[in-house]
Amino acid sequence: MVTAFTYSLSSWRGTTQEEFVGLGNFIHLFTTEPYRTQVPRAFGHNMLLFAGAMVVQNSLGLFLATVLHRRERFKRLFQVLYTMPYLVSPLVIGYLWSLLLSPLFGPVNAALRAVGLDSLALPWLGDPSTALWVVVLVTAWQWVGFPLLVYGAALGGLDPSLDEAAELDGATARQRFFHVTLPLLTPVIGTVSVLTFIGAMESFPIPYALGGSTGSPAGATDVMSLLFYRTAFQSGSSNAIGTSSAIAILLFLIIFGFSVLFTRWFRRTEKRLF
């Protein structure tokens, strides 16, 4: 890590470290093309991935975990089914969806046509306006098993007498969920959120499989990790190491900073609640 820091603070000619340039590489990232447009764009896409994961994957995971927690029949079967995509390689998942969504023979579009939704049978991955949403949804689809298992374990660890007491006091199922269960889950929600954030920021295989290393179409699926990879190993620029190390440091600082903020915020919320 120290090595990477010194790399980012130096200028490079090929593989030889030349001189100390301080924050020069970072300034370079924000002032010269193509980085000036690509860094904020990629970061925006990462943030959207995170937001999408929080909304789709974590709420769905929590919902499914809550429903499963209360039932017995086929519980194990559902758990295994929901967790399956999570155990498959993200690269395989990315390629699988690129095949499923293919405009030529993709079963997804064929199924949409079969049920009369011809207007929805689009080249989902070819259109810059929908491609990123595909990345978001595919990522969420794969990862649902993670919040499901974590929330499932947390729900199993809660004291059932609190829920029963609320039920005796006449609270409806919805009230019990939002005013008893959810506050009790705050610490776990915090952990899941931080891990989701790190996952979204470091996301690499799925965007790579769905959009290639350039984030096609037209950079619509570009993320920080792809930008880093291109800069470090494909750009051929003589200062590739300096610039890419600066991207890596920037990414690390973002992840570290946000994680600390999240953790603090969730701790405070926890204190306020109890």
Partner 1 sequence: MPSEMTANTPALPPTVSLEALAGASDETGFSHRRAARRRPRGPAALLTSGMLWLYAAVAAMPLLTMVLNSFRTNNELATDPLGLPADPSLAAYQEAWIEASFSTYFVNSIVVTVASVLLSTVVSLLAAYALARSRSRLLAVVEQVFISGLMMPVFLMIVPIFYLMDSLSLVSTRTGLILVYAAVSIPFSVFVLTTFFRQLPAELEEAACIDGAGPLRLFWSVMLPLVRPAVATVIVFRFVPIWNDFFYPLILIRDRTKYTLPVGLTTFFGEYQTSWATLFAGLVIATVPLVVLFLAATRQIITGLTAGMGK
User: Which residues from 185-214 bind partner 1, rule CB under 8 A?
Assistant: 187-188, 191, 202, 204-205, 208-209
Closest to 64 (Cα-Cα) out of 176, 166, 143, 161: 143
CB 81, min distance to partner 1, A: 5
Which range binds partner 1 by CB under 8 A, 18-26, 40-48, 49-57, 79-87?
79-87
User: Exactly one of 215, 228, 246, 266 binds partner 1 (CB under 8 A); which one?
Assistant: 228
Of the pair 181, 244, the CB lying nearest partner 1 is at: 244
Q: Does 34 engage in binding with partner 1 (CB under 8 A)? A: no
Q: Does 55 engage in binding with partner 1 (CB under 8 A)? A: no
83-112 binders of partner 1 (CB under 8 A) = 84-85, 87-92, 95-100, 102, 104-107, 109-111
Which range binds partner 1 by CB under 8 A, 27-35, 39-47, 71-79, 214-222?
71-79
129-148 binders of partner 1 (CB under 8 A) = 141, 144, 146
CB 23, min distance to partner 1, A: 17
